[in-house]
Structure formats: C-alpha cells, structure tokens
Amino acid sequence: MRLILVPAFACDGDLYAPLVPLLRPDFDCMTVVPAEPDLAACARLVLDVAEGRPAIVAGTSFGGHVAREAALLDPRLVAGLVVMGAGAGAPASREPFDRRRAAIEDDGGASMLEEMARAIVFEPEGRGQEAADAFRAMAARAPLDRLLAQNEALMNRTDRMEALARIEAPALLLWGDEDSFSPPEAGRAMAGAMPNAEFLSLEDCGHLPSLEAPMRVAAAIRARFAG
C-alpha cells in the first residue's frame, strides 16, 4: 500500500530518510511537502497524490496536522493514519507564530530555526546531535515562502478534538516522551477520542521520531499496518 509521508515545519524528505528504507519492503513510500497557508489546502495536495487509491498518510508536527486533516476531508482515501507530535487542539495564542513570521521576514529566521534545532530533539548536543543537524540542514534550504505559508497554516488551525470521532481508519499516534513542542498527553487525548487509535510513547525521543528512533517507528508502523 502507498504510504504518503508529510514532513514537519521547515523540513523536507530528509526527515524520513532513515525511515523509508526500513519500510520500503512493505510500503510504497513517497513524501509530499505542502506549502499552502491553510491546513485544508495542504491536505488536498496530499489527497491528490493518492490518485484516487486508498493510502496510509503519516505526518510529523505540521505534517501530522496535515495528515489528520486529510483523514477528515476524505475518509475514503485515508486507509490509515500516523500522527507524530501533533495534538488536535488549537493554538493557545497567535503570538509565537507572529514572532516566527517576523523572524522569517527579517533575516530568514536563522536565529529562530537554530533555537528550534536545539529544542526539537532529545539531548541535541549528545545522542540527538545528528538529528538536530539534519533539521538544521533542512531548515537552511527551506524556501522562505514555504516557511511563511506553513507558519500561517499552523497559526490558523482550529480545534479538531470533537472531529476525531469521525476518523474510523486505523490510526497510530507516536510521541517522543521528551517532546517539548507537543506533550505526549496531547497524543493520549487524541487516542481516547478516536474509535480505532493506538498510542505509543517513545522513550528518550523528542519531536522528530523518524530521525531519533527510526527503527522503533518503522516497527510500530509495520506492526499496525503491514500485518
């Protein structure tokens, strides 16, 4: 079955580079990098890639929001859902996104993205250094218009907790237990609101499980969807 992977904010296909070879024997993997200013438009791009055939849609952070939105837009096409580090609540405030937009417009967001790199993985100067460096490389080559559009889509997202009951497809919610961007409690709450969801916490992992714990992520996806 096709597995469509949607990267996190500022990331591209390299976010899933360690994961795809582990999954390729069981899944036809492809990555979509949406750059639209609202989640529904991003989700439509993902659904277009499905080409009318049911697919599993997986996403991390921003990509997780897009994947969930795709499952709500067209349950017929989303045969399975994987969400990593993307809770279903609305933002508590627009202020962080306004600051991020200003930083991107001011100097390309270099300082802001470096702050993210230091906080986005578990132990960024130790075991997570390789993952943090991979994020730095992706963020450095991300076009500014994509950063601005993705930031806008994240800022304007709405609370989807009540809508989760409509997602009947099998779902896998993967969370790093050291995720400082989206707490594991958000994933557990999602699992409790969905009719067919499994929640898995990944020990010693931050916000980017596909870089920090690819073997554990691959094993969980294969166990959930390839059996």
Residue with tokens 């994987």: 82
Q: How many domains does the chain have?
A: 1
The model's confidence at residue 136, banded by pLDDT at 50, 70 and 90, is very high
Task: Kindly report the CATH number assigned to the domain that includes residue 31.
Answer: 3.40.50.1820
Residue 227 predicted with pLDDT over 80: no
Closest listed residue to residue 86, CA positions, set 67, 101, 73, 99 = 67
User: In sequence order, what are the residues at sequence separation of 6 or more whose Cβ sits closer than 8 angstroms to the Cβ of residue 3?
Assistant: 23, 27, 28, 29, 30, 55, 56, 57, 58, 221, 225
3-state secondary structure at position 31: strand
Q: Is residue 129 one of the residues assigned to a domain?
A: no
**Which residues form the domain of 82?**
2-92+147-225
**10-48, pLDDT tens digit by residue?**
999 999 999 999 999 999 999 999 999 999 999 999 999
**98-121, pLDDT tens digit by residue?**
999 999 999 999 999 999 999 999
Q: Is residue 44 one of the residues assigned to a domain?
A: yes
